[in-house]
Amino acid sequence: MFNKVYLVGVGLINASLAKDLKRYQLAKTIIGVGRDSQRLAKAQALDIIDNYQLLQDCNVSDADVIILGVPVGKTGDSLALLKPSLNPRSLLTDVGSTKGNVVQAAEEVFGELPARFVPGHPIAGSEQSGFEYAQEDLFQNRKVILTPTENTDEAAVQDIKKMWLATGAQVEEMTVGQHDAILSATSHLPHMVAYTLVNYLGERDDASSIFNFAAGGFYDFTRIASSDPTMWVDICKANKDRLLESIDGFSNCLNELRSAIDKQDGDVINALLKQAKHLRDASLLK
């Protein structure tokens, strides 16, 4: 499908994509681009990438597609380093968890958004980070959201869509604003809740007993609190307004439940819990 693919940032998502590109013969050569030569050399030794370049002096002029997989807060800096050698014919996409700041960074770097730029976000991954945790078929039956801009060429959208479909993913399109609003509620907020719950329990006087006797449900619920904090700081800052809206909405719902418990109002408690059960069970059937 592609002759040369450049992965800018060889973390969990890009490395997992590299495995699929190789497995399904979607790319002849995969080149990793990053700032740490030792890490890149290790990724090459593991056969995740075929070769590598350092970001500060990279040349991507022969790229068929460039996939940006850096922390969203580093998008602008990375694009600025790619810009001197970027071929207008190359496809440019990303795998970031926020889209508004990515599009804004691209506009600031290029002045006008490139026609071959297709912002994207695979809804996949784990609490682990780094190419060491890369998985084949990570995107199988998982959703990938593409958020083309007004400047994006439709042919570029279709090429990126075909790439993701070939990995087994389900591809959806939406606007940048829709993406950031939805993901603030379904991904960003749950991570903040998990981090906060663990912090709250860790600050209690009986913290050692709490963690000692915590059951599987607790560890299932808080698994994502093991995610890379640096990445999530960037996401919080990048999607600030949407995330604050989601936090405020969740706080209101939690206060509603708190009030019902305080009043010992079993009917309200039951109604709230039944509603949640119904909504979750229904969503699993889709």
Question: What is the residue-level pLDDT of the chain in tens, covering all 286 positions?
Answer: 899 999 999 999 999 999 999 999 999 999 999 999 999 999 999 999 999 999 999 999 999 999 999 999 999 999 999 999 999 999 999 999 999 999 999 999 999 999 999 999 999 877 777 889 899 999 999 999 999 999 999 999 999 999 999 999 999 999 999 999 999 999 999 999 999 999 999 999 999 999 999 888 999 999 999 999 998 999 999 999 999 999 999 999 999 999 999 999 999 999 999 999 999 999 876 6
Cα 249–chain centre separation? 23
Q: How far apart are CA 31 and CA 101, in angstroms?
A: 26
- Report the CATH fold assignment for 2-174: Rossmann fold (3.40.50)
Q: How far is CA 115 from CA 5, 64, 107, 169, 177, in A?
A: 18, 14, 12, 24, 19
Query: Cβ distance 52 to 32 under 8 Å?
Result: yes
Q: Does domain 179-284 have CATH number 1.10.3660.10?
A: yes
Where along the chain do its domains lie? Answer: 2-174, 179-284
What the block records as the tokens of 278 is: 């119904």
What the block records as the tokens of 145 is: 């959201």
* Beta-bridge partner residues of 52: 32
